[in-house]
Amino acid sequence: MKLILVPIDFSSDSINALEHAIIIANKTGAKLRMIHISKGKKQDVPLYFKEFSNKEQYSPEIFFKILIEKYKNKIKVPFDYKLREGKVYKEITNQAKYDDTDLIVMGSHGVSGFEAFWIGSNAYKVVSNAECNVMTIRNGFLRIGINKIVMPIDISKETRKKLKATTKLAQICNATIHVVTVRETDRPKIIARLEQYSQQVYEYLDSKSINYIKKDLYGKNITDITIDYAKEINAELITIMTEQTENTANIWLGKYAQQMVNNSPIPVLCVHN
């Protein structure tokens, strides 16, 4: 991993995402770059920065300098920022593409007096349009580090494509992967396919000497049962795919992926197909 990009609107949500990104950057040695997209409007002082407030004229540059000063002793890798103007999700994904970014780490619901970046579907638009993996983090999730990863396996062929990214992260963090088969039906063909896919996953994890736990989940909504299980075991991450084929009966494209990004209190790693 060479570069991690962190969108910053200077809300507590985006600062929380930054703190998680610092942990990952320190473990992987990846350069960390923050990005802020301005809309050219007069800027108020964000609530997060009220303690630094004085009579200076505030600007994104000043807030970034405050952040760099605050975290300079906690980060072991190169650390800088970029400023862009335009549509939030387009500028984030354009910068990620230009930098050949490996991972975007962003808050999913940040709202502040400075910028309200993630209102509506901006976070999901980044997930849908980025050409790299995207990790979304809710502001209420304060646990730092990754020890338990929930990796749901559905009946789509693409579901196993998140295995390598999940495994690499588990190796870096010395985490346990919870391989969770998820289904909304008891049809024997569906169960058989899930067993086939999960067995391939187990064999791969065995070959990489990764600790893992097996779990089968059945319920009315795959997103809900995945999130409930992650909460039950106090997981720090859920990994899903961002793309599926058009004729796929399930799962993570469209409303399910959006539900996961918008509703999960657990950080979500969306793996680009």
By CB atoms closer than 10 A (0-12, 13-18, 19+), residue 226 is: buried
> Hey, what amino acid is at 230?
A
Average pLDDT over residues 77-85: 93
Residue boundaries of the structural domains of the chain: 3-137, 148-271
Q: pLDDT tens-digit profile of 141-186?
A: 878 889 999 999 988 888 889 999 999 999 999 999 999 999 999 9
pLDDT at residue 62, as a whole number:
83
Average pLDDT over residues 248-271: 72
By CB atoms closer than 10 A (0-12, 13-18, 19+), residue 202 is: middle
Q: What is the pTM of this model?
A: 0.87
* pLDDT higher than threshold 80 for residue 202: yes
* pLDDT higher than threshold 60 for residue 113: no
Percent of the chain at pLDDT > 70 equals: 83
pLDDT at residue 121, as a whole number:
57
pLDDT at residue 66, as a whole number:
87
> Which helix (H) or strand (E) element contains residue 207?
helix 188-207
Task: With H, G, I as helix, E, B as strand and everything else as coil, classify residue 65.
Answer: helix
Integer angstrom CA distances of residue 192 from 59, 76, 88, 112, 251: 58, 47, 43, 48, 17
- Candidate from 27-41, 71-85, 93-107, 169-183 with smallest mean pLDDT: 27-41
Q: pLDDT tens-digit profile of 206-230?
A: 999 999 999 999 999 899 999 999 9
* pLDDT higher than threshold 80 for residue 258: no
pLDDT at residue 248, as a whole number:
42
- Candidate from 129-143, 189-203, 243-257 with smallest mean pLDDT: 243-257
CA–CA gap between residue 101 and residue 134 (Å, rounded): 10
Please name the fold of domain 148-271: Rossmann fold (3.40.50)
pLDDT at residue 244, as a whole number:
45
* pLDDT higher than threshold 60 for residue 4: yes
Confidence of residue 246 (pLDDT cuts 50, 70, 90): very low
Domain 3-137: assigned CATH number: 3.40.50.620
Confidence of residue 243 (pLDDT cuts 50, 70, 90): low
pLDDT at residue 63, as a whole number:
85
Q: Which of 59, 38, 189, 172 is nearest to 115 (CA)?
A: 38
Pair type for strands 133-137 and 268-271: antiparallel
Q: Which of 195, 20, 44 is nearest to 107 (CA)?
A: 20
CA–CA gap between residue 212 and residue 202 (Å, rounded): 8
Average pLDDT over residues 93-106: 96
Average pLDDT over residues 86-109: 92
Q: pLDDT tens-digit profile of 17-67?
A: 999 999 999 999 999 999 998 866 555 555 566 565 554 556 788 889 889
Helix, strand, coil percentages, rounded to 5, for the chain = 40, 20, 35
> Hey, what amino acid is at 224?
D
Same fold yes or no, 3-137 and 148-271 = yes
